[in-house]
């Protein structure tokens, strides 16, 4: 438990798209965009909706202009021209003046190759939820031929800005490259039709693409889920498209990807992706309606499970880290759900040609570079969740010399992908190149802030070091780290690295896993410190000990790099900590610094007496501003 978990965390791998760093010059030129926003009432319902679409032109120096159209509520579109500013960080995070609310900011991300920009207003006070999707416009002239082949899309709409008619659909269509569709089908549901499953052919359907990648899509009026005329914007390869309704009262957003040409399996979906969510959960007898917008990332290893990290905004803001299940059939479509549901089709991968992978070895099958998911469930009547999720592959920016990978600062227990914050007192892993001359391990406690001629500053404060290697450093975040962002710098033998910015929060829990992957069976013991597993399962009503990091400040406080005290014990101060077993809260007996360990926390918790047995019962840690749901526990009778 000591060295193997805390000192030797396995190195994660991801698709590298060549060494690069991000700055304002990364965004340069025209993008076709749609920005969809809903004003939310105190009751959680829509008080109105707005969509804006058109061309956004980035000047490469921190400024942009917009030339487009905007519609609100039941009104028709009207022209809109505006200007704004943006700032690109080295990790591909972007702050962008909100095109709908100039005094506020979008929290955005840049896809690999600057192919797309995804954003949501997760950091602002206010009563609106939104989603922003921009697709890089072609730099040369294109025509109808750019849109050809098999596509999957997701759409979400609020006719006249009211959620009484909320609708979402998965769209499957075949574009012929000449302005027509050989087939076009919507699968989805509408709240004003009891949210029962609908499958609707869309006829007639045509399109026309201009030289700059903008165009129109006409979906006729045969289908209630997706009809009328839309402005659309396609990428240079035709692999991605985004659009919105131009009809009076047509408040919606639409995004699509060209599906992969070969057969697909779960193993096809690999790599790291940025994503945005926009969701509406309708009212039930036990809950009020609510809207959610989110920006984040996912990591997929091609095994049917992905790890997610998102900044979420619904009634309040919180950081979510969790696992999701997916399954792909041989046509690039499948399911993307919290739990595996093979009978559902709400997900598709594609856009194999949207990036240049010339720096990569030849691959038998090009990987997907984007995905969509629509909140539909064709097998269940009354399914009341609506929405759309869109993701694009992220680049792994890197540099020369002593270099921190800008997306390589991770929770040392969960390895939750970028967007997941770090927190005071947390154990983190930093990945990069030339971080140290050779491996060196801490030999004494309290930990030193210098190890092997290496030091790491977090917001200017030197951090205690556990292990340094040329490609990875494990350390404890100083308890003094505060604010919304942390800057991290490594100094190796007097040579300073690049400065990397990462989100910072008071808590960012991650439970250690037995497999050291971040998910699967957690490092959890019984009261005698025997590991819980299928051979030694826990039982309902039993008290277990969960080992984790990222639980934030403790009381009484103790110095950075020191082991957790024994007498008195130092307890966490978060007022809202819960441990959920299959969504049932356990009874917390102790939550605090693990005695005699550095940076390690433990939670002693009694399992619910009514907990059903199972080999992999999910565990979630809930704090005032975070939700972590990565690992599981074996529970017997």
For 150-189, the DSSP string reads EEEEEEEE-GGG-GGG-EEEEEEEEEESSSBEEEEEEEEE
Is residue 34 a contact partner of residue 133, using CB atoms and an 8 Å limit? yes
Distance CA 613, CA 626 (A): 27
For residue 286, give every residue at least 6 positions away whose Cβ sits within 8 Å of its Cβ, in sequence order, or none: none
For residue 143, give every residue at least 6 positions away whose Cβ sits within 8 Å of its Cβ, in sequence order, or none: 209, 211
Longest dimension (CA), the chain: 76
Distance CA 574, CA 245 (A): 45
pLDDT at residue number 7: 36
Distance CA 588, CA 177 (A): 61
Q: Which residues pair with 36 in a beta bridge?
A: 51, 131
Using CA atoms, how far residue 47 sits from 41, 264, 314, 346, in Å, is 5, 42, 15, 28
Is residue 214 a contact partner of residue 223, using CB atoms and an 8 Å limit? no
**Residue-wise over 195-227: b if at least 16 C-beta within 10 A, else e?**
bebbebebeebbbebeebbbbebbbbeebbbbb
Distance CA 552, CA 566 (A): 18
Burial category of 602 from C-beta neighbours within 10 Å (exposed 0-12, middle 13-18, buried 19 and up): buried
103: left (phi over 0), alpha (psi -120 to 50) or beta: alpha
Distance CA 32, CA 513 (A): 42
What tokens appear for 225 in the block? 């889920």
pLDDT at residue number 16: 33
- Which part of the chain is CATH 2.60.40.10? 400-503, 510-636
Is residue 143 a contact partner of residue 163, using CB atoms and an 8 Å limit? no
Distance CA 437, CA 495 (A): 12
pLDDT at residue number 604: 98
Nearest to 471 by CA among 500, 497, 432: 432
Other C-beta atoms within 10 Å of 162: how many? Answer: 19
- The rounded Cα 365 to chain-centroid distance in angstroms is 25
Tokens 């749901």: give the residue.
Answer: 629
Query: CATH says 400-503 is which class?
Result: mainly beta
Is residue 411 a contact partner of residue 309, using CB atoms and an 8 Å limit? no
**E strands of 314-380, at which residues?**
317-328, 333-337, 347-350, 370-374
Angle at 387 between CA 382 and CA 390, to 5 degrees: 145
pLDDT at residue number 197: 94
Burial category of 566 from C-beta neighbours within 10 Å (exposed 0-12, middle 13-18, buried 19 and up): exposed
CATH number of 510-636: 2.60.40.10
pLDDT at residue number 11: 35
Dihedral over Cα of 433, 499, 270, 327: its sign:
positive
* pLDDT mean values, one per 10 residues, the chain (637 residues): 35 37 93 96 93 97 96 96 94 88 84 95 87 96 97 97 95 98 96 94 97 96 94 97 97 97 94 96 90 96 95 91 96 94 94 61 67 89 92 86 93 94 98 96 97 97 98 98 96 96 96 91 97 96 98 98 97 97 97 98 98 96 95 94
CATH number of 144-257: 2.40.160
pLDDT at residue number 104: 80
């Amino acid at each position: 438990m000591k060295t193997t978990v805390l000192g030797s965390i396995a190195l994660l791998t991801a698709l590298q798209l060549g060494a690069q760093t991000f700055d304002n010059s990364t965004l340069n030129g025209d993008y076709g965009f749609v920005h969809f926003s809903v004003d939310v009432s105190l009751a959680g319902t829509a008080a109105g909706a707005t969509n804006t679409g058109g061309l956004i032109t980035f000047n490469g120096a921190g400024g942009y202009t917009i030339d487009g159209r905007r519609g609100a509520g039941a009104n028709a579109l009207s022209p809109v021209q505006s200007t704004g500013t943006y700032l690109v960080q080295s990790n591909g995070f972007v702050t962008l003046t909100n095109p709908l609310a100039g005094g506020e900011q979008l929290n955005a991300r840049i896809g690999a190759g600057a192919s797309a920009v995804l954003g949501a207003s997760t950091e602002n006070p206010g009563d609106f939820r939104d989603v922003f999707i921009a697709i890089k416009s072609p730099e040369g002239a294109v025509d109808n031929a750019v849109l050809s082949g098999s596509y999957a899309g997701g759409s979400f709409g609020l006719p006249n800005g009211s959620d009484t008619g909320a609708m979402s659909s998965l769209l499957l269509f075949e574009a012929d490259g000449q302005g027509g569709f050989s087939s076009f089908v919507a699968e989805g549901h509408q709240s004003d039709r009891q949210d029962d499953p609908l499958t609707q052919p869309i006829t007639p359907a045509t399109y026309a693409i201009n030289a700059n990648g903008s165009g129109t899509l006409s979906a006729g009026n045969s289908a209630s889920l997706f009809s009328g005329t839309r402005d659309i914007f396609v990428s240079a390869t035709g692999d991605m498209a985004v659009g919105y309704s131009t009809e009076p009262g047509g408040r919606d957003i639409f995004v699509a990807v060209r599906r992969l040409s070969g057969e697909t399996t779960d193993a096809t979906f690999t790599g790291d992706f940025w994503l945005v969510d926009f969701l509406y959960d309708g009212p039930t007898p036990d809950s009020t309606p609510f809207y959610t917008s989110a920006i984040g990332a996912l990591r997929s290893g091609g095994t049917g499970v992905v790890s997610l990290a998102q900044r979420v905004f619904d009634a309040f803001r919180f950081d979510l880290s969790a696992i999701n299940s997916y399954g792909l059939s041989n046509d690039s479509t499948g399911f993307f759900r919290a739990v595996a549901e093979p009978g559902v089709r709400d997900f598709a991968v594609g856009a194999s040609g949207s990036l240049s992978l010339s720096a990569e070895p030849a691959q038998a099958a090009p990987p997907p570079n984007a995905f969509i998911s629509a909140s539909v469930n064709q097998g269940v009547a009354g399914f009341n969740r609506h929405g759309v999720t869109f993701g694009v592959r992220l680049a792994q920016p890197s540099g020369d010399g002593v270099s921190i990978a800008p997306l390589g600062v991770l929770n040392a227990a969960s390895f939750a992908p970028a967007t997941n914050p770090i927190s005071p007192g947390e154990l983190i892993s930093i990945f990069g190149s030339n971080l140290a001359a050779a491996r060196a391990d801490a030999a004494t406690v309290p930990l030193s802030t210098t190890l092997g001629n290496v030091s790491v500053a977090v917001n200017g404060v030197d951090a205690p070091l556990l292990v340094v290697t040329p490609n990875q450093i494990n350390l404890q975040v100083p308890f003094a780290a505060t604010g919304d962002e942390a800057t991290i710098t490594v100094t190796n033998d007097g040579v300073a690295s690049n400065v990397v910015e990462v989100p910072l929060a008071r808590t960012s829990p991650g439970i250690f896993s037995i497999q050291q992957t971040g998910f699967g069976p957690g490092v959890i013991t019984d009261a005698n410190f025997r590991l819980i597993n299928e051979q030694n399962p826990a039982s309902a009503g039993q008290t277990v000990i969960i080992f984790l990091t990222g639980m934030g400040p403790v009381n009484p406080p103790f110095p950075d790099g020191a082991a957790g005290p024994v007498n008195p014990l130092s307890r966490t101060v978060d007022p809202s900590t819960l441990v959920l077993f299959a969504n049932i809260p356990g009874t917390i007996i102790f939550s605090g610094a693990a005695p005699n360990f550095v940076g390690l926390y433990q939670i002693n918790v009694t399992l619910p007496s009514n907990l059903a047995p199972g080999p992999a019962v999910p565990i979630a840690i809930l704090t005032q501003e975070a939700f972590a749901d990565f690992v599981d526990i074996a529970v017997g009778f």
